[in-house]
A and B are shown apart, each in its own frame.
Chain A
Amino acid sequence: MTDTLTPVLTANWGDERAWKLVNYERVGGYQGLRNALGMDPADVVAQVKESGLRGRGGAGFPTGMKWGFIPQDNPKPKYLVVNADESEPGTCKDMPLMMASPHTLVEGVIISAYAIRSNFAFIYVRGEVVHVVRRLQQAVREAYSAGYAGKNVLGTGYDLEIIVHAGAGAYICGEETALLDSLEGRRGQPRLRPPFPAVAGLYASPTVINNVESIASVPSILANGAAWFSSMGTEKSKGMTIYSLSGHVTHPGQFEAPLGITLRELLGLAGGMRAGRELKFWTPGGSSTPILTPEHLDVPLDYEGVASVKSMLGTKALQCFDETTSVVRTVLRWTEFYKHESCGKCTPCREGTWWLVQILKRLEAGQGEQGDIEKLLDLCENILGRSFCALGDGATSPISSAIAHFRDEFEAGMHTPAWELFPYARSTVFVREPVGASA
């Protein structure tokens, strides 16, 4: 039986200057790369497949299988792109990883690129995090100087260029095909699939796109073995992962545990909800995953467990709200986010999110009209599945799930403003004691 928490990716986050190469090597860094370079690339892919690692960016697609889709007989260059555009509301695991231990990611990039026989890798990081960008730039430079990247990696004859590429502010670029358009110097708008990026991705060449945490998990698999990795987690959700607790909890923060831990266990570690308050609703994996309630506290937080209660594990961004919170207000603010971030390409998403905001605003103000709830649901039905990418789908998740669980609050929006039912000042955390003073 594995321990409740299993720090691997987060193990050096408390170390002095953990971001420096010398300190990363001191804790075993780049051993996974050395192991990988002694193997045939196809065997590296096989080992990652065997580990059971699934994508940590939301969809949960098996990472090794994705790599296996790269057609090795295609004469075009192959590309590896790391999706470091972390922007899904609630999601806050990749930024601290890249700030504390950028070499974990860089080592993963080199191993992964080697596995798919790519000589060019990109780390597409959102622009609004300059210090993360600095640490990544420095880590990549250090990797070149040490011979881990550049020409003739560690004398093996393998060449790899790595570019740290800063985005410019657009949630949609976290969608993999929009990210590719953005990386090609265009407006970040999604592409219709097929063809999938594995066949025609960046510059219409075979491309693997993986989330930061997925790639950062690879060095540990190469260093410790597939069986070690799959000894953690549940039957179909293997390994350790980072859970991000935020909101009205006593001590919010990052918790690395085997897949399958429950919110009840995590809340126990985080000191529970803030004093005197109770959990009202939560997201399992960011704002695009349907909200859950206290009745779901014991659902195993793995891909299958969360799917079984009609939500998604997503990015494991556990946003917890207490009973002072207005559901209508929360859903409005998420919907405003999607409206702002819709790229405008597909009509149902572009127009639909705008109309959803109008209706939710009047419900928040207590000026809802008869039929508004039905109209919201109807709009959601007409957005879901009718756009190129999942942004539109994600926009409907909070609304339809909130109406399912808290319909009475939407009905109250016909006559009473949300700020009267739930005075907003009570939801703020300004009274909270400073967290982790001893850390």
Chain B
Amino acid sequence: MSAAVEPQGPGARHGAPVGDNGVEDLAGAGHAKTHFDEPSLDFTATSTAVDDAVVEELRLIAARYPQARSALLPMLHLVQSVEGRVTPAGIEACAQVLDLSTAEVSGVATFYTMYKRRPVGKYHVGVCTTALCAILGGDEVLERLQEHLGVGNDETTEDGAITLEHLECNAACDYAPVMMVNWEFFDDTTPDKAVAVVDALRAGEPVHATRGARVATWQETERVLAGFPDGRADEGPTSGPQSRLGLQIARERGWHAPSVPPPQADDDDSDEQESA
């Protein structure tokens, strides 16, 4: 669920336990930090990039689905691609297109961690710190990046280049520790490699994912997730070495699946399957 509704003070960041025994106030002295304490949406902001053309694209997304409301998640991705975050104007536009209340749209936007209410940098850098990645070195990678960039969790560098966040498992555990930049895979990362990547990004150099494309901006990435392809599916490799390790071993040893279908058994007993 959304990081925005999670009680998470600055001391609650993941990482090495240095100087933090991690025991939060359970009750009493002050209350746990909630989203009501967060710097929330800036409702005084009047300028918006959501114009008629964007609304037209929102309608296009809605038209793909048997029921329009199904389009809300991709529509919010599109809002982020034009606004750099979920803005009040973006919420209103989604609500109008889908004939929902703004409260209903906000309720959805605050549930999912990929939707950001504060501006995200040009590059979103995520470090996996779920158990396996954390133990294999994700904690060290995150700590090093925090020091190097001078930001805490879910914060953006002053130049607006990098937003740093710790992630939950990103489904690449055989490449642990894993870092994601704008949701592209950076496999087998180390503190040094991670620093080199963010330095190259800040220097404006082209950076290629380990398994994926050249890194686009965060807003460009959000447009792909909204369902507007960027024509770059053919970049990058088919797989990484870990993904094809078993295949490689099978080839070396001449192992394969049964190649000739055995003759059909007459009375197969597979009807005996029990329901779970």
Residues on B lying within 8 angstroms of A by beta carbon are: 1, 6, 14, 16-17, 21-24, 26, 64-67, 69-74, 76-77, 98, 107-108, 111-115, 126, 129-132, 134-137, 139-140, 167-177, 180, 182-185, 188, 190-191, 209, 211-213, 221, 224-227, 229-230, 232-236, 238-251, 253, 255-258, 261-265, 268, 270-271, 273, 275-276
A151 at the B interface (CB under 8 A): no
Cβ of A56 within 8 Å of any chain B Cβ, yes or no, is: no
B23, B107, B130, B182: the one contacting A337 at CB < 8 Å is B130
* CB-CB under 8 A for A5 and B136, given A165-B74, A227-B264: no
User: Is there an interface contact between B173 and A128, defined as CB atoms closer than 8 Å?
Assistant: no
Q: Which residue of A lies closest to B108 (CB)?
A: A187
Main secondary structure of the interface of B (DSSP, over half): loop
Of residues 313 through 328 on chain A, the ones whose CB sits less than 8 Å from some CB of chain B are: 317, 319, 321, 325
Given known contacts A138-B229, A184-B67, A256-B247, A130 and B183 CB-to-CB distance under 8 angstroms: yes
- Using CB atoms, name the residue of chain A closest to B274: A236
Q: Which residues of A contact B (CB under 8 A)?
A: 2-8, 10-20, 49-52, 59-62, 65, 77, 86-92, 94-96, 99-100, 120, 126-131, 133-135, 137-138, 141, 163-172, 182-188, 203, 224-228, 230-232, 236, 238, 240, 243-248, 251-257, 269-270, 287, 317, 319, 321, 325, 329-331, 333-334, 336-337, 340-344, 358, 361-362, 364-365, 367, 417, 419, 424-425, 427-430, 434-437, 439
Min distance, Cβ B152 to any Cβ of chain A, angstroms: 17
Q: What separation, in Å, do the CA atoms of A321 and B170 have in the docked complex?
A: 19
* From B130, B185, B229, contact of A333 by CB (8 A): B130
Q: A166-B74, A270-B245 are in contact. Are A19 and B172 (CB under 8 A)?
A: no
Query: Which A residues lie within 8 Å of B263 (CB)?
Result: 227
A251 to B175, CA, bound (A): 10
Q: Which residue of A lies closest to B132 (CB)?
A: A319
Instruction: Pull 18 A–B residue pairs with CB atoms less than 8 Å apart, ordered by A.
Output: A2-B257, A3-B257, A12-B238, A52-B270, A131-B235, A134-B232, A141-B229, A168-B113, A185-B70, A188-B111, A230-B270, A231-B258, A244-B174, A257-B246, A333-B130, A424-B139, A434-B188, A439-B248
Closest to A90 in B: B173
- Chain A residues with CB under 8 Å of B137's CB are 428-430
> In the complex the two chains form, is A87's CB within 8 Å of B261's CB?
no
Q: Are A130 and B270 closer than 8 Å at their CB atoms? A: no
Extra contacts, 10 of them, besides A2-B257, A252-B175 (Cβ < 8 A), are A14-B238, A94-B171, A96-B239, A170-B112, A171-B169, A225-B264, A251-B245, A287-B130, A361-B24, A430-B191
Minimum CB–CB distance from B91 to chain A (whole Å) comes to: 13
Q: A134-B233, A337-B130 are in contact. Are A256 and B183 (CB under 8 A)?
A: no
Beta-carbon contact of B238 and A18 below 8 Å: yes
Knowing A89-B130, A166-B73, A364-B22, the reply to whether A10 touches B247 (Cβ < 8 A) is yes
B66 cross-chain contacts in A, Cβ below 8 A:
77, 120, 203
Closest 10 CB pairs of A and B: A436-B241, A253-B245, A185-B72, A255-B246, A168-B112, A169-B113, A3-B255, A131-B212, A169-B114, A428-B137
A165-B74, A169-B113 as given contacts; A50 in contact with B243, CB under 8 Å: no
Q: Is the CB of A134 within 8 A of B224?
A: yes
Residues of chain A contacted by B24 (CB below 8 angstroms): 358, 361
Chain A residues within an 8 Å CB radius of B21 = 361-362, 365, 367, 417
- The answer on a CB contact under 8 Å between B112 and A232 is no
For A7, what are the chain B residues with a Cβ–Cβ distance below 8 Å?
A: 246-247, 250, 255-257
With A95-B172, A137-B233 as given contacts, are A365 and B243 in contact (CB-CB < 8 Å)?
no
Say whether, besides A131-B213, A361-B24, A90 and B230 are in contact (CB < 8 Å). Answer: no
Report chain A residues within 8 Å CB of B212. 130-131
Question: CB distance A321 to B115 under 8 Å?
Answer: no
Are A344 and B242 CB-contacts (below 8 A) given A183-B70, A185-B98? no
Task: Give complex CA distance A19, B136 in Å.
Answer: 31
The answer to whether A62 and B67 touch across the interface, beta carbons within 8 angstroms, is no
Q: Nearest Cβ distance between residue B51 and chain A, in whole angstroms?
A: 23
